[in-house]
Structure 1
């Protein structure tokens, strides 16, 4: 029965951000520009960290992973939108939609986990500076990142397989520019199990890292307040400024979407907030980290100089 119903829907239609031709052209140029800026900025950070031995530290190891995930996240979300605009189609295949769902969930989870891991790294650096090198060992860093990948992939696989068993036999129009868990609204099957898994497993996996970030920053704030001099307080807290800015931007948009009453916002505001955390945040991350970090800015200058004046 499930297979028969599924076969009645060979694909879906991504309605995108606008149906006005003039707006579509403008949005295409805007999305293309943001995607190129995202790729360029994050690739430069990856090159700077990999080529500068001074940046081979836990903080930059986690930042390089975040940059890699941001490039993958943007590619997963934006490339299909750009492709559909070029070919003049809104279609995405049934399998293609579920593959996109899988990778969107993986990279969304990875952003969440990496921000939590980076908060823990800043907690150790500020609250236990004398033991930083002994606590944040290369083995622990690799274990934290590997554990994040495994958890993200397994959870995404769970959600995707549960969604793939559903029947889609009616409306195939997705009022969005990419496939995500909102696909459940189009199913003509009972989605109770899916809803419960999202509420419990996904809720726990998303909220637990956020709680870890909050706890880390509570301890960091307490440690900073105990520093006697104003200059010392600023120096201690400045090491967390970039990460705190990224956390605020990332979770601010997610809270705006998922934790506001449904009557307080429309589909348009939901889409705008989704664009912020799937497109804008990955683009801004390199700028936030590089503008506030002298070591990273110096490494970026070396990379760009090497590109301009190759030896």
Structure 2
């Protein structure tokens, strides 16, 4: 598919603002075009065609909320409880697992782009951090959708839910809330889940799928690091204590609980406080059968 979101001639003559480009990709409804657009932007950045204006309020357009996120008609989005659980022990089950992961990564592209677009007047590093995350999430989606094709399926063939984006909408007004609930909670849960799913795929003989999960796990540690970095920034700006604030926000937004076993090493590498890790380990110990 040809990328039509960015005209190279237009960029050569006028360039583009990074956040405006992020908005253009965010509103794109075609998954493959969204992925190709992130790749194109990398080349434009390397050629110094991209500038950054952190001051513009890109949410001022009356249709802003209606236009995001750009996504295709399928998959059909249903309540999370109506999405069938998939076993790695059957070909259809493995395809369903890979599809669920692809859906998470597609949402993650939009979440990273929305973080860039929605919050103005932050340090430049904030926007470049989240652009890097968007590019890596697009790569993950590409890996998974290509692997799904080897199973005779495509993104959109299975039911999916909208939990990630629903949390993004709830936290759209405050940076600390968004960083706490999305990267620090929902994406951090992926650090715990990835090794479990990887091992299931290995045991089922899907070595390629398992290797993709290894790539995702390694990158996701970096993404949670980014979330932690800007959560702490927001706490410092507001003179609030991060550990207590995180617990309060988790209660306020009824954040989903983590599921053991917890990947303590990955969470530590991603920047969680030892106090938080000890709390998780204690929860796990109480939940474990005696």
TM-score by length of 2: 0.32
Greater length-normalized contact order (CA 8 Å, ≥ 6 residues apart): 1
TM-score by length of 1: 0.30
Q: Which structure's residues are more often helix, by fraction?
A: 1
Pair member with larger Rg:
1
